[in-house]
């Protein structure tokens, strides 16, 4: 894992939340996440990474934040049914991934389209056997969310 791969995603997250929602999220201290522990999130978007490093970047949200974001985007104050929320999160993370791609241009990396997983404490199948996962918590006026990363080096 190297900070040069993670940084574009953090920048992209900040940028997208700024532009789309007019929110400036505060980034908290990163820590090592226990993949077996209940994470407490309701929606996760998984972005696959391949190339000179392999792994995944996952953005996780609680359902309340997801609903709030959807409301802000669609302009409807009422919490929307689940498909709308899933679509919205998918779109948002898609844009984040697209933004991050620019920052990763100089590295030999491919980013996949995000896959969405929902359900309280849904199980995410993390790539890389027992590789430690770094979790970066974000705090925003609409709620907390997290960006988790697991990346392994290919050679050596």
Partner 1 sequence: MADLFHTIRNLWRNITTSGAGELLTMERRRRIVFLNSINLIGMLILFIFSTNRYLGGDINTAIADMVACSILLFTFIYMRARKKFVFASYMIVSSVFLLFSFLLYDGGGDMSSSLWIQTYPLVAIFILGLRPGLIISTIYLAGACCIIFIPEAAKIAYGFNFGLRIVGSYMLVFMFAIFYESARRETQGKLEKLSADLLAAKKQTDSILANVKEGIFLLDNGLRMGSEYSKELERIFGTTEIEAVPFMKLLEGKTKQKVLSAVNDYLEMFFKPAMNIELLEEINPLDRIELHFKDSGAGFMTRHLEFTFTPVSREEGKVNILGTVKDVTDEVELANKLKAQETRTKKQMEQLFRIINVGPDMLTEFILDSEVEVENVNKLLKSDEKNYASIIDSMYQSVHAIKGNAILLGMTGFSRKLHSIEDELNAIKEKDLSWNDLLHQTIRLTEIKNEINDIKDLIKKVLSFQTDNRLQKIENKDLLLNAVQRTIDVMSREMGKTIKLVAEKFDSRMITAKQRKVVKDILIQLTRNALSHGIEHPDQRKALAKDDSGTIVVSSAIHDGKLTITYRDDGQGLNLQKIKNKARAIETFKNMDLDTMPEQKLLSLIFHPRFSTAAETTLSAGRGIGLNLIKSKIEQSGGNLKVRSARGKFCEFVITLPLQ
In contact, 110 and 49? CB cutoff 8 Å: yes
Q: What does the DSSP 8-state code read for residue 82? A: H
Asked if residue 8 binds partner 1 (CB under 8 A), the reply is no
Stretch in the footprint of partner 1 (CB under 8 A) among 2-10, 64-72, 83-91, 139-147: 2-10
Nearer to partner 1, 71 or 99 (CB): 99
Stretch in the footprint of partner 1 (CB under 8 A) among 15-23, 51-59, 61-69, 80-88: 51-59
Q: Is residue 78 exposed (0-12), middle (13-18) or buried (19+ Cβ within 10 Å)?
A: exposed
For 44, 49, 80, 149, the CA distances from 131, given in Å and listed in that order, are 19, 15, 37, 10
Nearer to partner 1, 54 or 67 (CB): 54
Query: Cβ neighbours of residue 129 under 8 Å, at least 6 residues apart?
Result: none
Smallest distance from partner 1 to CB 74, Å: 26
CA 90 to chain centre: 10
Q: Which residues bind partner 1 (CB under 8 A)?
A: 1-3, 6-7, 27, 29-32, 46-51, 54, 56, 105, 108, 110, 112-115, 125, 127, 130-132, 134, 136, 154-156
């Amino acid at each position: 894992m190297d900070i040069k791969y993670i940084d574009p995603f953090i920048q992209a997250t900040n940028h997208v939340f700024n532009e789309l929602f007019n929110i400036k999220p505060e980034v908290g201290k990163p820590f090592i996440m226990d993949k077996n522990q209940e994470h407490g999130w309701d929606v996760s978007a998984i972005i696959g990474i391949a190339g000179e490093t392999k792994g995944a970047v996952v953005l996780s949200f609680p359902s309340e934040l997801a609903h709030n974001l959807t409301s802000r985007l669609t302009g409807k104050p009422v919490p929307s049914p689940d498909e709308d929320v899933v679509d919205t999160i998918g779109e948002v993370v898609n844009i984040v991934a697209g933004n991050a791609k620019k920052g990763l241009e100089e590295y030999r990396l491919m980013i996949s389209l995000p896959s969405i997983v929902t359900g309280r404490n849904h199980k995410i199948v993390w790539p890389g056997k027992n590789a430690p996962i770094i979790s970066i918590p974000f705090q925003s006026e609409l709620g907390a969310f997290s960006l988790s990363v697991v990346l392994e080096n290919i050679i050596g």
